[in-house]
Amino acid sequence: MARAAKVENIIMQKNEVFGTKKVVDEMNINEESVLETEKNAVEDDVPEAIDVTSLPGVGAATAEKLQSSGFHDVLSIAVASPGKLCEAAGVSEAVARKIINAARDSMKMGFETGTQVLARRAKVMRIPTGSSNIDALLGGGFETGAITECFGEFGSGKTQIGHVLVVQVLSRDPKASVVYIDTENTFRPERIKELCVGVGLDYEDALRRIMVARAYNSDHQMLLAEKVEGLIKEQGKKIKLVVVDSLTAHFRAEFIGRGTLAERQQKLNRHMHTLGKLSSSQNICVFVTNQVMSKPDSFFGDPTVAIGGHIVAHASTFRIYLRKGRKGSRVAKLIDSPNLPEGEAPFEVTGPGLKDF
Ligand SMILES: Nc1ncnc2c1ncn2[C@@H]1O[C@H](COP(=O)(O)OP(=O)(O)OP(=O)(O)O)[C@@H](O)[C@H]1O
Ligand SMILES: [Mg+2]
């Protein structure tokens, strides 16, 4: 997922500043060619959950067996081995092969051209933060269609950035809604109100468009992330931002000791996959926060390391390390990005929003 997003980002040549329709032609792309390829743009490039029973040889009973063995959609069948399918559905190998082939035929599994990727990238929007230092660091702001992870010690400003992004999105698009998955009980409507003053937005209107969910444990958190698609498809909400604050706190608290690490990472991986798919299929900016722990064995450099290990690091398209700077300022450092240089942005958190320092 992250790897695919990274490839896309490398091919990226156009971008748009969120809501302001400011198109930056970084490489002088011919508008017409973009428009033409946009016609063929693959809206459905992320495989949808096609009904399994539409495949030949799969009746209701077989579908139920497949479902209970974890084959929920056509994609999972298309990439399965005949042996696994025989076992799961209780069918002969010949039938299993037939089902797999039909699943493969029924979906686009192949390649797309760079031009198609470019057309899709043209839809990416950027959410500015109010600090031009941070915006410059991120090439214009926080990207939609990607996961951005912010990690840093307590009080480094992770939750503040989450609140700022919420208000920025809502003020730029009067139809947009946002989702805030709050695991630490740190979402504050009062803070939203204060930030709304900063951008001249009616706070009551803003609060109505924020869907806040308090996640009580990691399973609940994962379930909430899975429900976001339903808000879009069933309730018609125009979700443009999903904040998960904090991504890792529950996982860290629930899985203690080395013996549980594999299970924790597996669950985190699934959670990141849900968020990644959501971001790219719905063109949503996913912002997740992450704590750090100290690394007692490090003698040089910063002795802190982000929670979640390679799973979280790899699944995030952009990674930002936040630390406290001098005189109450904060410093955001871009650690990992598919197409932007690493760099640092000094800023401060103020009542009406983020400012350059
Ligand atoms: N209304 C405000 N005006 C100015 N600064 C504020 C305001 N609210 C919070 N801050 C600043 O933000 C800091 C808190 O940052 P934040 O809650 O985002 O940290 P965090 O990185 O989420 O920490 P944690 O890991 O504990 O969740 C405060 O210490 C304060 O400096
Ligand atoms: Mg916080």
Q: What is the pLDDT of residues 97-151, one digit of tens each?
A: 988 888 888 776 578 889 988 888 899 999 999 999 999 999 999 999 999 999 9
- Collapsing DSSP to helix, strand or coil, 356 comes out as strand
Q: Which of 54-68, 117-131, 213-227, 256-270 has the lowest mean pLDDT?
A: 54-68
Residue 151: partners with Cβ closer than 8 Å, 6 or more residues away: 158, 289, 290, 291, 292, 306, 307, 319, 320, 321, 322
Q: Is the CB of 194 under 6 A from ligand 1?
A: yes
| pLDDT reading at 9 higher than 50 | no
| pLDDT reading at 72 higher than 50 | yes
The CATH code of the domain that includes 287 is: 3.40.50.300
Looking at residue 296, its pLDDT comes to: 67
* Residue 349 Cα: closest atom of ligand 1: 5
* Residue 150 Cα: closest atom of ligand 1: 21
| pLDDT reading at 7 higher than 70 | no
E strands, the chain, are 14-17, 22-25, 125-127, 142-143, 146-152, 176-182, 210-214, 238-245, 285-290, 292-294, 304-306, 318-324, 330-336, 343-350, 353-356
User: Do you know the residue count of the chain?
Assistant: 357
Q: Are residues 80 and 207 in the same domain?
A: no
Q: Which of 24-28, 223-227, 293-297 has the lowest mean pLDDT?
A: 24-28
Q: Are residues 129 and 153 in the same domain?
A: yes
- Closest ligand to Cα 197: 1
The dihedral through the CA atoms of 113, 114, 115, 121 has a sign that is positive
In this predicted model, what pLDDT tens digit does every residue of 139-190 receive, in sequence order?
999 999 999 999 999 999 999 999 999 999 999 999 999 999 999 999 999 9
Q: Are residues 84 and 159 in the same domain?
A: no
Q: Kind and range of the H or E element at 114?
A: helix 114-121
Parent domain of 65? 52-106
Q: Is the CB of 185 under 6 A from ligand 1?
A: no
Q: Is the CB of 356 under 6 A from ligand 1?
A: no
| pLDDT reading at 30 higher than 50 | no
DSSP-assigned letters across all residues of 25-55: ETT---HHHHHHHHHT--TT-SPP---GGGS
Evaluate whether 108 touches 75 at the Cβ level (below 8 Å). no
CA–centroid distance, 30 to ligand 2, in Å, is: 44
CA–centroid distance, 321 to ligand 2, in Å, is: 14
Mean pLDDT of 231-243: 95
In this predicted model, what pLDDT tens digit does every residue of 243-263 receive, in sequence order?
999 999 999 999 988 888 888
Q: Is the CB of 157 under 6 A from ligand 1?
A: yes
* Residue 156 Cα: closest atom of ligand 1: 21
Q: Is the CB of 348 under 6 A from ligand 1?
A: no
DSSP-assigned letters across all residues of 164-212: HHHHHHHHH-TTEEEEEEESSS---HHHHHHHHHHHT--HHHHHHTEEE
Q: Are residues 153 and 294 in the same domain?
A: yes
Q: Are residues 306 and 247 in the same domain?
A: yes
Kindly indicate the confidence band of residue 78, based on its pLDDT and cuts at 50, 70 and 90.
Answer: confident
| pLDDT reading at 2 higher than 70 | no
Q: Are residues 94 and 217 in the same domain?
A: no
Q: Residue 212 falls within a domain, yes or no?
A: yes
Nearest protein Cα to ligand 1, atom 2: 351
